A and B are shown apart, each in its own frame.
Chain A
Amino acid sequence: MKPRYSIFSIARNAMNYHKDWERAWRSPNPKAEYDAVIIGAGGHGLATAYYLAKNHGMTNIAVIEKGWLGGGNTGRNTTIIRSNYLQDASIAIYELARSLYEGLSQELNYNMMFSPRGLMMLCQTEHELRAMKRTSHANRLAGLDCRMISPSEVKEIAPIINTDAECRYPILGAYYQPRGGTGRHDAVAWGYARGADAMGVDIIQQCEVTGILRDGGKVIGLQTSKGEIKTKKIGVVTAGHVSTIMDMAGVRMPIESMCLQALVSEPIKPVLDCVVMANTVHGYMSQSDKGELVIGGGTDPYNNYSQRGSFTALEHTVTALVETFPIISRLRMLRQWGGIVDMTGDRSPILSKTDVEGLYVNCGWGTGGFKAIPGSGLVFADTMANDRPHPIAAPFSLNRFKEGRLIDESVAAAVAH
């Protein structure tokens, strides 16, 4: 049993000049065989492993990671947590995740810095206002805490927003989800990793999967850069690299990988205490506890595995935000980065069994996976353990693309793509 983190452990370690902190997780070598293997130690993969061990008693499992844990999109997003999607199936999974975030720091004994500071989506055209009203009605019917607010309320919540009625895209109102907010993205990966490791899950970093071994219609193991591992259940949770892994198993995916960028400014005094998304002009912004403005926008339009985006996409995002927040026009940007996101045709995720027995896939979160991590891990673990879709995961099956049961969040969505 690992010692718990607490104010007393901080005080005790301060006495020793912080030289005696235990490692948060082990670095084991892979065993010859596991009951299940998760490929990809990002938030979703680690959460899956955690819930497999905690809820289903599967502790003889491993999480395999090519790089370092939490080094992909989990460490590259803008940390926004919300659940205001349009379709019932989406609301169910994203709201499950958002509500799990509320108690996650206590459950994992790891500070996620979940900050339900409120989230607003600006309406800057008549069409957007109408669409957001529709979303808010759908959300309220589903039991979400949300409401539409007027331009004067927008100004009250976020005084730095330009509410000039004469500008190109005037603020006509906003959708407001008071329980939305931000979290500490790295801590989510680290907390789940520590929690899973404490229950005996092997997290194996710097270990690249090079092949998936099949015996006819079922999986029997995988080849890695650290040798062959036998297993009867494989969960592929590799986001932008999901197609490359699934190609090894001979399963074709409805996914295209693209680059999504984010950037942060130099730290400044507190100016914005909620998340603001401006989808018409295509940019969103929040302020971190360090004072940096965290900014995101749209994807580069072409297939891309390079983890570095183009300047034109950045320029587009920043131009939009300067229009909305004139005071940031002279702010310098500190750093910028890109992550490879896995886009599906309907912009909804895939949590599914496959035609190969024992092969499961959790991907397609595209530009908005961080917010879903706890819910995704919970229902995907349940799906893997019981070899049938969890009721919340069921609508997100791979078969929906064949059957035409799309969960369309691309046209009607509240999100910026």
Chain B
Amino acid sequence: MITVNCPVCGAEGDETDFHYGGQAHVRRPATTDAANVTDEEQRDYLFIRHNPKGLHFERWRCDRGCGKWFHAARDTVSLDFKAYYGITELPPDEIIAQAKGPWADYFKERMKAKK
């Protein structure tokens, strides 16, 4: 059993009070350029997932509270939540700094695009 806290309404509960929404920050390629989506991009969007042993970034929904979606950074081994952040936001900088593997690459890319 894990304890989840909603950053929107402050509700606290276990996983049955929340809905797991899978990997965070997955971008739908057709949203930006619908005419030129390759098979590889569509595959990555639908199926390819970061699956780290350790720090992971996810979407959750506050099912029995405010009903809002939010983001969370969670360790997949200890199952501890490291941070909660808004559904339109990126994780806090100190959490991004701890990301490894494909997640580290992803955030590097995002930061570059931001600049």
Interface residues of A (CB under 8 A from B): 241, 243-244, 247, 252-257, 300-306, 310-312, 344-345, 401-403
Whether B43 and A401, one on each chain, are in contact in the complex, defined by CB atoms closer than 8 angstroms, is yes
A302-B58, A345-B47 known; A241-B15 Cβ under 8 A: no
Whether B1 and A256, one on each chain, are in contact in the complex, defined by CB atoms closer than 8 angstroms, is no
Q: How far is the CA of A268 from the CA of B1 in the complex (A)?
A: 30
B-side interface size class:
20 to 34
Whether A253 and B48, one on each chain, are in contact in the complex, defined by CB atoms closer than 8 angstroms, is yes
Name 10 A/B residue pairs within 8 A (Cβ), A-sorted. A252-B48, A252-B102, A257-B53, A301-B20, A302-B74, A303-B58, A304-B79, A306-B77, A310-B1, A402-B40
Q: How far is the CA of A244 from the CA of B102 in the complex (A)?
A: 10
Whether A304 and B76, one on each chain, are in contact in the complex, defined by CB atoms closer than 8 angstroms, is yes
Candidates B1, B20, B51, B56; contact of A255 at CB < 8 Å: B51
Q: How far is the CA of A212 from the CA of B64 in the complex (A)?
A: 45
Residues of A with C-beta under 8 A to B52 = 243-244
Q: How far is the CA of A345 from the CA of B47 in the complex (A)?
A: 6
B103 to chain A, nearest CB (A): 10
Residues of B with C-beta under 8 A to A402 = 39-40, 43
Whether B46 and A401, one on each chain, are in contact in the complex, defined by CB atoms closer than 8 angstroms, is yes
Whether B15 and A300, one on each chain, are in contact in the complex, defined by CB atoms closer than 8 angstroms, is yes
Candidates B16, B40, B76; contact of A303 at CB < 8 Å: B76
Q: Which residue of A lies closest to B19 (CB)?
A: A301
Candidates B39, B50, B79; contact of A306 at CB < 8 Å: B79
Whether B1 and A306, one on each chain, are in contact in the complex, defined by CB atoms closer than 8 angstroms, is no
Residues of A with C-beta under 8 A to B2 = 302, 310
Q: Which residue of B lies closest to A307 (CB)?
A: B77
The 8 A-B pairs at the shortest CB distance, nearest first, are namely: A243-B51, A254-B47, A402-B43, A302-B20, A401-B47, A301-B20, A310-B1, A345-B47
Residues of A with C-beta under 8 A to B16 = 312
Q: How far is the CA of A320 from the CA of B83 in the complex (A)?
A: 35
Q: Which residue of B lies closest to A342 (CB)?
A: B51
Q: How far is the CA of A243 from the CA of B39 in the complex (A)?
A: 21
Q: How far is the CA of A345 from the CA of B78 in the complex (A)?
A: 25
B17-58 near A? 1/0 per residue, CB < 8 Å? 000101100000000000000011001101111111100101
Whether A302 and B48, one on each chain, are in contact in the complex, defined by CB atoms closer than 8 angstroms, is no
Residues of B with C-beta under 8 A to A305 = 53, 76-77
Whether B79 and A256, one on each chain, are in contact in the complex, defined by CB atoms closer than 8 angstroms, is no
Residues of A with C-beta under 8 A to B78 = 306
Whether A302 and B51, one on each chain, are in contact in the complex, defined by CB atoms closer than 8 angstroms, is no
Q: How far is the CA of A247 from the CA of B20 in the complex (A)?
A: 24
A302-B58, A303-B56 known; A312-B14 Cβ under 8 A: yes
Whether A254 and B76, one on each chain, are in contact in the complex, defined by CB atoms closer than 8 angstroms, is no
Residues of A with C-beta under 8 A to B49 = 243, 253-256
Q: Which residue of A lies closest to B79 (CB)?
A: A306
Whether B51 and A303, one on each chain, are in contact in the complex, defined by CB atoms closer than 8 angstroms, is yes
Q: Which residue of B lies closest to A309 (CB)?
A: B1
Q: How far is the CA of A402 from the CA of B45 in the complex (A)?
A: 10
Interface centre among A243, A311, A403 (most CB of B within 10 A): A243
Residues of B with C-beta under 8 A to A247 = 101-102
Q: How far is the CA of A392 from the CA of B98 in the complex (A)?
A: 42
Whether A244 and B20, one on each chain, are in contact in the complex, defined by CB atoms closer than 8 angstroms, is no
Whether A311 and B1, one on each chain, are in contact in the complex, defined by CB atoms closer than 8 angstroms, is yes
Candidates A256, A310, A311; contact of B51 at CB < 8 Å: A256
A301-B20, A302-B58, A306-B76 known; A345-B46 Cβ under 8 A: yes
B93-109 near A? 1/0 per residue, CB < 8 Å? 00000000110000000
Q: Which of B50-73 contact A (CB under 8 A)?
A: 50-53, 56, 58
A243-B52, A305-B77 known; A256-B22 Cβ under 8 A: yes
Residues of B with C-beta under 8 A to A300 = 15
Q: How far is the CA of A328 from the CA of B1 in the complex (A)?
A: 24
Residues of B with C-beta under 8 A to A253 = 48-49, 51
Residues of B with C-beta under 8 A to A256 = 22-23, 49, 51
Whether B76 and A310, one on each chain, are in contact in the complex, defined by CB atoms closer than 8 angstroms, is no
A388 to chain B, nearest CB (A): 22
Residues of B with C-beta under 8 A to A311 = 1
Q: How far is the CA of A255 from the CA of B76 in the complex (A)?
A: 14
Residues of A with C-beta under 8 A to B51 = 243-244, 253, 255-257, 303
A39 to chain B, nearest CB (A): 15
Q: How far is the CA of A312 from the CA of B58 in the complex (A)?
A: 20
Q: How far is the CA of A402 from the CA of B46 in the complex (A)?
A: 10
Residues of B with C-beta under 8 A to A312 = 1, 14-16
Given contacts A300-B15, A401-B46, 15 further A-B contacts (CB under 8 A): A243-B49, A247-B101, A247-B102, A252-B48, A257-B51, A301-B15, A303-B58, A306-B79, A310-B2, A311-B1, A312-B15, A312-B16, A344-B47, A401-B48, A402-B40
Q: How far is the CA of A344 from the CA of B48 in the complex (A)?
A: 9
